[in-house]
Structure 1
Amino acid sequence: MLRSMDSAVAGLRAHQNKMDVIGNNISNVNTFGFKSQTYSFKEAMYQTSTASTGGVVRDTTSAGGTNAAQYGYGTMMGSIAMDMTSSTPSYVGGFNACIDGEGFFITKAVVGPDAGYGVDKMKASGFDYTRVGQFQIDSNGYLVDANKNFVYGFRRRADDTDAKPLEDNLKPLKVPKDLNFAYDGDALQLKDVQVNSAGEVTGTVVSTDAAQDGKTVSLGKVAIATFQNPNGLTKSGGGYYNASDSDNTGASSATIPGGSTSMLMTGYLEASNVDLAKEFSEMITTQRGFQANSKIITVSDEMLADLVNMKR
Structure 2
Amino acid sequence: MLQGLYAAAAGMSAQQSRMDAVSNDVANVNTTGYKSQRLAFRDLLYVRQGVEGVQVGSGAAAETLGRSRAQGALTQTGRSLDVALAGQGMLEVRRPDGTTALTRAGDLQVDARGRLTTVDGSFVQGVRPLPAGTSADSLSIAADGTVTSAQGTQLGRLRIVAVANPDGLAPVGDNLLQPTAASGAPRPDGATTVIQGHLEASNVSLADAMTDLVESQRAFSMASRAVQTQDQMMEIANGVRR
Determine if the TM-score, normalized by the shorter chain, exceeds 0.5. Answer: yes
Map of 1:102-141 to 2, 5 A cutoff? 102-110=88-96, 126-141=99-114
Map of 1:43-58 to 2, 5 A cutoff? 43-50=43-50
Out of 160, 173, 188, the position equivalent to 2:132 is: 188
Asked if the contact 2:66/2:166 (under 8 Å) is kept, the reply is no
Change (3 A) 1:297 1:173: same
1:77 Cα shift? 2.4
Larger Rg: 1
Counterpart residue identity of residue 14, structure 2:
A
Change (3 A) 1:189 1:99: same
Confirm or deny that 1:151 pairs with 2:153: no
User: Which ranges of structure 1 fall in alignment gaps of 5 or more residues?
Assistant: 52-65, 113-125, 154-171, 176-186, 205-214
Asked if the contact 2:96/2:121 (under 8 Å) is kept, the reply is no
RMSD of Structure 2 on Structure 1 (CA): 2.2
Out of 205, 217, 230, the position equivalent to 1:275 is: 205
Confirm or deny that 1:219 pairs with 2:149: no
Q: How far apart in 1 are the matches of 2:241 and 2:184?
A: 64
Alignment partner of 2:149: what SS?
Answer: strand
Q: Which runs of 4+ in 1 moved over 3 A?
A: none
- Which residue of the partner structure matches residue 187 of structure 2? 253
Per-residue CA deviation, residues 137-195 of structure 1 (Å, 9 max, x unaligned), is: 32222222222222112xxxxxxxxxxxxxxxxxx5223xxxxxxxxxxx331122232
Change (3 A) 1:111 1:141: farther
Counterpart residue identity of residue 129, structure 2:
K
- Which residue of the partner structure matches residue 74 of structure 1? 59
Q: How far apart in 1 are the matches of 2:62 and 2:49?
A: 25
Q: How far apart in 2 are the matches of 1:200 and 1:91?
A: 20
Q: Per chain length, whose mean CA-contact separation is higher, i.e. which structure has more relative contact order (CA < 8 Å, sep 6+)?
A: 2
Change (3 A) 1:49 1:311: closer
Q: How far apart in 1 are the matches of 2:114 and 2:86?
A: 27
Confirm or deny that 1:203 pairs with 2:149: yes
Alignment partner of 1:216: what SS?
Answer: coil
Q: How far apart in 2 are the matches of 1:198 and 1:74?
A: 49
- Which residue of the partner structure matches residue 303 of structure 1? 233
Q: How far apart in 2 are the matches of 1:147 and 1:276?
A: 25
Q: How far apart in 2 are the matches of 1:69 and 1:218?
A: 71
Asked if the contact 2:84/2:198 (under 8 Å) is kept, the reply is yes
Compare the two structures and name the one with the higher helix fraction: 2
- Which residue of the partner structure matches residue 173 of structure 1? 128
Alignment partner of 1:190: what SS?
Answer: coil
Asked if the contact 2:179/2:186 (under 8 Å) is kept, the reply is no
Out of 174, 179, 182, the position equivalent to 1:243 is: 179
TM-score (norm 1): 0.70
Q: How far apart in 2 are the matches of 1:236 and 1:310?
A: 54
1:266 Cα shift? 0.8
- Which residue of the partner structure matches residue 39 of structure 1? 39
Paired-residue identity, %: 28
Alignment partner of 1:235: what SS?
Answer: strand
